[in-house]
């Protein structure tokens, strides 16, 4: 027969064991906190798509992964963010391919002026086998490209006059992204290229440090240049894809199930971003017009394209291994 002392001790052990089981069941595994980089303000099409990507990943992984997007480049400008993502300090990001060239030379192809005929052509190329080849090149530098965003067509704007011919660029100080191809592009047009951070453009226009820059409608409007540089000329010289990229170390730590969830969420985000982009581009254009901006078509783009031939020649000479990829992109659009 059990004594009262023995019985009480036995009951205590049972209760303790039961509490341990309940605790093990009720306390979920620690969520993986992901940090995501974004250069744009929260209302931007890319930002909305990235937030929905984060929400979808959190929901479908049942909280195993909790991504958080940091907007307005608060974690650094794009070159810094690329390095942070490559070394795993950041988990994911939306990167424009323009500043990617110094790290992934193959992506410089995407920065060749007039390489794409239209945004639709760009999407078709990047969503296919050629896009996979660029993803492979990024993966070699520890960036896993899961989907491709759009960034519209980039055109020239300035504070002085409309641009109709290459001669109209002569002597203008034009901000470009940090890529030698863009410097060469403006130089071939007779302008003075000035690489600088995106965040410095508005103030530099106001103070006369630069005369102009080149960008798409939403960027021209959202960060304020349309208030100062009242001439926007539709050269449409660059149609740059952007990636939704994940750090390779972050990706490799995922289970196969979670990889599928993250990739599907990234593809959904790209579809949403492209639709939101078109809507925002139209509203940004109208806002610029309402503010008195003079928007002009460029009737003879061939004259600009001819000026770019030395860039293609130099590029192929420097990167003979990429000549086939250049030709494949051009052939795919014919």
Q: How far apart are CA 68 and CA 191, in angstroms?
A: 41
Half-sphere exposure of 61 (CA within 13 A, CB side): 29
200 contacts: CB under 8 Å, gap ≥ 6: 175
One digit per residue, the tens of pLDDT, for the chain of length 334 reads: 445 444 454 554 454 444 444 444 444 457 899 999 999 989 999 999 999 999 999 999 999 999 999 999 999 999 999 999 999 999 999 999 988 988 999 999 999 999 999 999 999 999 999 999 999 999 999 999 999 999 999 999 999 999 999 999 999 999 998 888 999 999 999 999 999 988 899 999 999 999 999 999 999 998 899 999 999 999 999 999 999 999 999 999 999 999 999 999 999 999 999 999 999 999 999 999 999 999 999 999 999 999 999 999 999 999 999 999 999 999 999 8
pTM for this predicted structure: 0.83
The count of other CB atoms within 10 Å of the CB of residue 175 is 24
Q: Is 18 exposed, middle or buried (0-12, 13-18, 19+ CB in 10 A)?
A: exposed
Q: How many Å is the Cα radius of gyration of the chain?
A: 25
């Amino acid at each position: 027969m059990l004594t009262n002392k023995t019985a009480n001790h036995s009951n205590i052990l049972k209760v303790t064991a039961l509490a341990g089981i309940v605790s093990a069941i009720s306390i979920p595994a620690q969520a993986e906190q992901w940090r995501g980089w974004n250069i744009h303000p929260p209302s931007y099409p890319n930002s909305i798509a990235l937030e929905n990507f984060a929400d979808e990943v959190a929901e479908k992984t049942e909280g195993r992964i909790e991504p958080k997007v940091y907007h307005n480049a608060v974690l650094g400008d794009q070159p810094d963010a690329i390095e942070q993502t490559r070394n795993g300090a950041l988990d994911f990001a939306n990167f424009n391919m323009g500043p990617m060239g110094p790290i992934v030379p193959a992506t410089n192809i995407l920065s060749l002026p007039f390489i794409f005929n239209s945004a639709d052509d760009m999407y078709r190329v990047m969503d296919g086998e050629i896009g996979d080849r660029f993803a492979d090149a990024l993966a070699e530098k520890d960036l896993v490209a899961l989907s491709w965003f759009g960034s519209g067509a980039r055109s020239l704007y300035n504070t002085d006059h409309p641009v109709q011919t290459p001669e109209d660029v002569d002597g203008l100080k034009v901000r470009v992204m940090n890529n030698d191809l863009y410097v060469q592009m403006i130089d071939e047009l007779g302008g003075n290229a000035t690489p600088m951070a995106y965040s410095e453009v508005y103030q530099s226009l106001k103070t006369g440090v630069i005369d102009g820059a080149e960008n798409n409608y939403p960027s021209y409007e959202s960060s304020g240049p349309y208030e100062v540089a009242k001439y926007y000329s539709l050269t449409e010289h660059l149609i740059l894809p952007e990636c939704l990229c994940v750090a390779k170390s972050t990706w490799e730590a995922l289970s196969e199930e979670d990889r599928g969830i993250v990739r599907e969420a990234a593809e959904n985000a790209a579809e949403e971003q492209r639709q939101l982009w078109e809507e925002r581009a139209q509203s940004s254009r109208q806002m610029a017009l309402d503010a008195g901006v003079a928007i002009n078509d460029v009737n003879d783009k061939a004259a600009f394209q001819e000026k770019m031939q030395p860039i293609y020649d130099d590029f192929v000479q420097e990167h003979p291994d990429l000549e086939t990829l250049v030709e494949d992109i051009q052939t795919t659009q014919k």
